[in-house]
Chain A
Amino acid sequence: MGRVDRIAEPWGSRTPYGPGENWPIRVDAYLDGGLTEDDVDRWVPSATILHSNGDGLDIAVKDGRIVGVRGRAEDRVNHGRLGPKDLFGWQANNSPDRLTRPLVRRDGELVETDWDTAMDAVVGKVHELLEEQGPSAIGFYTTGQLFIEDYYTLGLVAHGGIGTNHVDGNTRLCTATAAAALKESFACDGQPGSYTDVDSADVIALYGHNVAETQTVLWTRMLDRLAGPNPPKLVCVDPRLTPVAKQAAVHLAPRPGTNVPLMNALLHEILRNGWYDQAYVDAHAVGFDELQRQVEKYPPEVAAEICDVPVEQIREAARLIGTAERLLSTVLQGFYQSHQATAAAVQVNNIHIVRGMLGRPGCGLLQMNGQPTAENTRECGADGDLPGFRNWDNDAHVADLARVWNLEQIEIPHYAPPTHAMQIFRYAEQGSIRFLWIIGTNPAVSLPELRRIRSILGQERLFVVVQDIFPTETTELADVVLPAATWGEKTGTFTNADRTVHLSEKAVEPPGEAKADLDIFLDFARRLGLEDKDGEPLVKWSDPEGAFEGWKECSRGRPCDYTGLSYAKLRDRNGIQWPCNDEHPDGTERLYADGKFWAAPDHCEEYGRDMVTGAPVTETEYKALNPDGKAIVKAAEYLPPHELPSEQYPFQLITGRTLYHFHTRTKTGRAPQLQAAAPEVWVEMSAGDAADRGLGEGDLLEISTPRGRVEARLRISGIRPGVVFLPFHYGYWDTADGGQPADGHGRAANELTLTAWDAVSKQPIFKTAAAAVRRLAESGGSPSAAPTTTASAPVTGSPPPTTGGRAAEAEELVGGTA
């Protein structure tokens, strides 16, 4: 047993292993101030919720309080390991400023009230608007952090009960492109790969995926392979010098907004050199000829010019990817939140299709998620999809859903794809959505162009309900605030980015009058008097297990089949991958083995979309294109970004996250070790750009775009020239200003971003705004507070290293068997 400062060493100690071997066990644990395992009353099984990795853990309970966490050695995802956010983030649960009573707005002020009063206000408003306008007045904006049971119930209540098409989640910002890219290539959502592909891959290509900071335990797995015999080679595409880039055999740092030409050049080289599997393509794919025609136009020389990347690096990356025997590819926000998001992510799928690298160990494709339960928002119909990956454009699928819900088919809106988040806010701006229920998310900090978002949410004519666990910048703008229970205070299931389902049990009571999200939705449905077509209550369950059983039925026969799972089974063995059914009782490690897909026209989730316009492909067109349900190779042309640098705004601004924080820091900002590791906003710039402007480490800068301005201290980092980076975590809840910036002195990166989204996935673009920079004050010798352990590591001077000291020491127990 060792003790390691997990702020200074976020990935802990190495346990090297070789290709095809089992990843060794290392159990990480952290207990509150001086407690030992002997002091713990109970250990309650769960999994991590501050990222999408889904690491199995046990919650330590003493005297009815959460006092720590310990990784589960036998869990397939983490083999005992936990990341810094998991080790320390739970402390936020015990924070004294949790929301504990419902609030309603009276005379402009939010005042405490009881549940009856708050829910009557909510239900009264919904009744009034349904009477006056109909379901088009009602919108729901949810999250990627609830449980299956919550989402499925919400989807039923909103789509089936109220009959609105306006349901989406903040997953639109994090995972929409993952889903869209999978639907384009395989006509259905569903992660093809498995985390165990790390164990045998010989090349790992990471596209816009700073896994070292977003999924620390997955990176730990990769680091252990890198430290072992016959390590894999890494290819990294990222404009920042991330920990991944530092380990990479090839690091491509393209100009923001140019991922499509870069991918086309890689595919150009793969096709030109014959590094593809013609037999696989002939048997299992359609659309290859069009890809050949399209990528013909993008030799490495052309891409090198557009992307500003050395031509020999493109060739070398293509050689590694093209000659790999077991290629694992992962994709995240560097692609999803950038220009031409889906078109770029689809080209990664194309590499796997043309190389026939799907469904075999090491040949993994991981279109990652950002949030812990984003996968479930997608599956359960709470994010702009119908439940069970049903196709909104296939009448038989809607009829089947109506059967499961015992409703008439016309009650379920399916005239168009469910409304996406950015459009929901547009309808609210226009005044046709007049009731917006926001659940577990903080759009007043996380959506682009915050001045606009604040003005939408602040409208008198819009009734805003916010369900959350802390007061936030968004609750400040609410008409009703509902206090919710969080992880550890309620029971439910959730699924990580490689389809692993965990049961997370209730460990302690929620504070005050806070209620589980499921109970809030059940109460809402009851008060609203929602009924099925026989006049029976629409929602047939009253607890989490009942909701899970309901969801299982809805998923039956669909790709995300949960029918082989149960609470009892997950209590026996937590962490099983769907589909899990009679045919696959132990779950399914990889999808699409033997080139079999879920793409048949009568079975698929979506017929696809136009890569430039986003217009849906019709059923007739799809049947002509892909009658036999093969994989679809979709080519894409390059279009320049919508906002390019100018004389006035010479930089390209990208936003992103740091290892130590999650979203708008509502939890991580209340965990002392995490908050101390990254206490305030910073801005990154390359050494050359800083020198050209006479700027130094720690100088206070103003970063501005046509939308607003932000002040931040400068960190001179390894970012590519011409680009500035701002972390998106920092809003105003813990500043003196409260809910919003005083006098325009902003610190939220989204003051600056533009309202624009990918036409296919509808994911907002956070990575191509044109920005200007000027110095407000010199540093006076003190550096910025950016972490030194991560992509924000300094490249000049020697700012003090990021450490956590004794308070951040966690246990590490290497070895043992599961």
Chain B
Amino acid sequence: MKLDLAIEELHRSENELYTVLLSMSDRHKVDHEVFYVTRDMARWSEQHVAELAEAGREFGLELDPEAKHPAGLLESLQHKASELTGRRSAPGLLLLADLRHLYREAGGTALDWELLAQGAQGAKNKELLDFAERCQPQTLRVSTWAKAKLKESSPQVLAS
């Protein structure tokens, strides 16, 4: 039985996604929709991390239920940097790069949920299966958003 490994890996990757979302938010404070929506989506990862820690206990794991927040000083520096460069067009390219990165991160995390769901099916663990099926759609919404935002933003960045 290696479900503990799947949970541990997912806990790591949801934590990573949480960090990616919040740092991205901080880097794009003047792109207001990016700033707020990434923060709203980070709440899902925060919740997933807590629930994964809870689920891991059954498998003898001691995982931190609190998602790790990027350092506070860095956050305010990034806000400031975002404001200072808000009048320039180069950050448009940075946004595309960040969206591309987020799309891959969220896609990877969603795949990890898929693995957990498959493992839960194999082990006939209904509770774990329900948990995975409840959380995976939210992670998929993150990658869907990243792709949609990329589609919407890229023409203006690349053709101007």
Contacts and interface: CB of A to CB of B under 8 A. Distances in A.
Which of B92, B156, B157 has its CB near the most chain A CB atoms (within 10 A)?
A: B156
Contact of B89 (A431, A612, A756, A762): A431
A610 B145 contact: yes
A642 interface: yes
Contacts of A429: 30, 86-87
Contact of B32 (A430, A613, A755): A755
Interface of A: 133-134, 136-137, 165, 413, 415-417, 419, 422-423, 426-427, 429-432, 610, 612-616, 639, 642, 755-757, 759, 762
B159 A642 contact: no
A561 to B, nearest CB: 30
B144 A613 contact: yes
Contact of B156 (A136, A755, A756): A136
A642 B36 contact: yes
Given A133-B160, A431-B88, A614 B155 contact: no
B155 A136 contact: yes
Contacts of B86: 429-430
4 nearest CB pairs, A to B = A613-B145, A615-B148, A416-B152, A136-B160
A134 B160 contact: yes
20 contacts: A133-B160, A136-B159, A136-B160, A165-B155, A423-B33, A426-B31, A427-B156, A430-B86, A430-B89, A431-B89, A432-B89, A432-B92, A610-B141, A610-B145, A612-B37, A612-B40, A615-B144, A615-B147, A755-B32, A762-B33
Contacts of A612: 37, 40-41, 141
Contacts of B33: 422-423, 614, 757, 759, 762
A757 B145 contact: no
A756 B141 contact: no
Given A416-B155, A612-B141, A432 B37 contact: no
Contacts of B37: 612-614, 759
A413 B151 CA distance: 13
Given A429-B86, A430-B92, A756-B32, A615 B156 contact: no
B138 to A, nearest CB: 9
Which of A137, A413, A426 has its CB near the most chain B CB atoms (within 10 A)?
A: A426
Interface in B17-51: 30-33, 36-37, 39-41, 43
Contacts of A136: 155-156, 159-160
Nearest to B159: A136
A615 to B, nearest CB: 4
B32 A134 contact: no
Given A417-B152, A610-B144, 12 more contacts: A134-B159, A413-B155, A415-B155, A426-B30, A429-B86, A429-B87, A430-B87, A432-B156, A610-B141, A612-B37, A615-B145, A615-B148
Contacts of B152: 416-417
Which of A426, A427, A431, A613 has its CB near the most chain B CB atoms (within 10 A)?
A: A613
Nearest to A455: B87
B-side interface size class: 20 to 34
Nearest to B153: A416
A132 B92 CA distance: 19
B87 A422 contact: no
Interface string B119-160: 000000000000000000000011011011101100111011
A430 B155 contact: no
Contact of A756 (B36, B92, B155, B157): B36
Contacts of A615: 141, 144-145, 147-149
A445 B140 CA distance: 40
A363 B152 CA distance: 38
A136 B156 CA distance: 6
Contact of B41 (A423, A613, A762): A613
Contacts of A614: 33, 37, 145
Contacts of B30: 426, 429
A658 B37 CA distance: 32
Given A426-B32, A431-B89, A639 B43 contact: yes
A613 B149 CA distance: 10
A423 B31 CA distance: 9
A716 B152 CA distance: 46
Nearest to A610: B141
Contacts of B160: 133-134, 136-137, 432
Contacts of B147: 615
A221 B160 CA distance: 52
Contacts of A413: 155
Contacts of A616: 148
A616 B87 CA distance: 28
A136 B91 CA distance: 17
B36 to A, nearest CB: 5
Given A134-B160, A612-B41, A415 B92 contact: no
Contacts of B39: 642
Interface in B81-116: 86-89, 91-92
A759 B152 CA distance: 13
Which of B33, B141, B147 has its CB near the most chain A CB atoms (within 10 A)?
A: B33
Nearest to B155: A415
A639 B43 CA distance: 9
B146 to A, nearest CB: 8
Contacts of A422: 32-33
A416 B144 CA distance: 14
A759 B156 CA distance: 19
Interface in B64-87: 86-87
B134 to A, nearest CB: 10
Which of B30, B31, B141, B152 has its CB near the most chain A CB atoms (within 10 A)?
A: B152
B91 to A, nearest CB: 8
A415 B32 CA distance: 22
A136 B86 CA distance: 19
A431 B85 CA distance: 12
B155 A757 contact: no
Which of B37, B40, B41, B160 has its CB near the most chain A CB atoms (within 10 A)?
A: B160
B101 to A, nearest CB: 17
A110 B30 CA distance: 32
Which of B39, B40, B157 has its CB near the most chain A CB atoms (within 10 A)?
A: B40
B155 to A, nearest CB: 5
